[in-house]
């Protein structure tokens, strides 16, 4: 590794010497800037048996919210970024009694977008992520662009930088995904927004809630019914 870095450095010095002699200082500066830019752009490499290693993405690293510049009155209620495990999410999606073609998938607190990418393995009408950190949202957008999976069935995958508390649900069949993204204040807001939209009618709702630390909040909602499914997530539906 060290020998390789040494070889690269001495090759760079040779190129710089050559360019100085033939092209002048401006060209050398251009070259150095492009080299530094390429270095900065380099993304971490991941082991082949991990999600990121398999799909060429960057989702793994945990990010505490204090490290991010987030402009939201609900910042305090937010939970740090941590990617969901793909396997239990697939199991939960496959256990739902739905045709994904008839549903949108919406991840509230979508972070770097791993759940969006997993959901895109199913033929959902569209897959949408709502993330309030611009930095995480930008990484998600790049992950969506880079994602390479021959099993991908939904190409309409979008991350939006917005607050989940303010998301107004349109009247379309929706699977809402939550991976313990926020506390009681935002979750209550989200439940209110869901109820308002459901009261207007015309759509069906399923909620897949992984690491459901606030499940009691959903359990007591009259418009939701907890489903008995052999999965680790808590799953709810508005259907009676």
Identify the residue among 186, 198, 205, 224 touching ligand SAM (CB under 6 A).
Answer: 186
Rounded to the nearest whole angstrom, what is the least distance from the CB of residue 112 to ligand SAM in the complex?
7
Q: What are phi and psi of 209, to 5 degrees?
A: -115, 105
Rounded to the nearest whole angstrom, what is the least distance from the CB of residue 121 to ligand SAM in the complex?
14
Q: Using the rule CB under 6 A, is 81 a contact of ligand SAM?
A: yes
With b for 16 or more beta-carbon neighbours within 10 A and e for fewer, the 137-161 pattern comes to: bebbbbbbeebeeeeeebeebebeb
* Interatomic CA distance for residues 74 and 15, integer angstroms: 52
Rounded to the nearest whole angstrom, what is the least distance from the CB of residue 102 to ligand SAM in the complex?
23
Size of the site for ligand SAM (CB under 6 A): 28
* Interatomic CA distance for residues 96 and 30, integer angstroms: 55
- Name the residue with the smallest CB distance to ligand SAM: 109
Per residue, the 3-state secondary structure of 125-187, as one string, reads: CEEEEEECCHHHHHHHHHHHHHCCCCCCCCCCEEEEECCHHHCCCCCCCEEEEEECCECHHHH
Nearer to ligand SAM (CB atom), residue 19 or residue 105:
105
Nearer to ligand SAM (CB atom), residue 19 or residue 176:
176
Binding pattern for the stretch 61-80 against ligand SAM, x by CB under 6 A and - elsewhere: ----x------x-x---xx-
Identify the residue among 55, 100, 111, 191 touching ligand SAM (CB under 6 A).
Answer: 111
- Residue in 42, 40, 57, 237 with CA at minimum distance from that of residue 148: 57
Binding site for ligand SAM (CB under 6 A): 65, 72, 74, 78-79, 81-84, 107, 109-111, 114-115, 130-133, 136, 163-165, 179-182, 186
């Amino acid at each position: 590794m060290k020998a390789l870095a040494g070889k690269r450095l001495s090759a760079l010095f040779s190129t710089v010497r050559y360019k100085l002699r033939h092209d002048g200082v401006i060209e050398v500066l251009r070259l150095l800037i492009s080299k530094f830019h390429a270095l900065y752009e380099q993304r971490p490499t991941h082991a082949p048996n991990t999600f990121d290693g398999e799909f060429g993405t960057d989702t793994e690293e945990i990010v505490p919210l204090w490290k991010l510049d987030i402009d939201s009155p609900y910042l305090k209620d937010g939970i740090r970024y941590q990617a969901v495990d793909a396997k239990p999410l697939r199991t939960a999606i496959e256990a739902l009694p739905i045709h994904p073609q008839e549903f949108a998938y919406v991840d509230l607190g979508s972070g770097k977008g791993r759940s969006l990418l997993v959901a895109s393995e199913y033929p959902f009408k569209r897959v949408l992520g709502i993330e309030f950190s611009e930095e995480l949202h930008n990484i998600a957008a790049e992950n969506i662009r880079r994602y390479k999976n021959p099993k991908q069935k939904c190409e309409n995958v979008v991350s939006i930088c917005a607050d989940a508390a303010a998301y107004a649900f349109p009247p379309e069949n929706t699977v809402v995904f939550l991976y313990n993204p926020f506390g009681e204040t935002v979750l209550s807001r989200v439940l209110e927004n869901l109820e308002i939209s459901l009261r207007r009618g015309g759509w069906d709702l399923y909620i897949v809630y992984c690491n459901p630390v606030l499940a009691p909040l959903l359990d007591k909602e009259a418009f939701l019914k907890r489903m008995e499914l052999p999965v680790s997530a808590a799953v709810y539906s508005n259907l009676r």
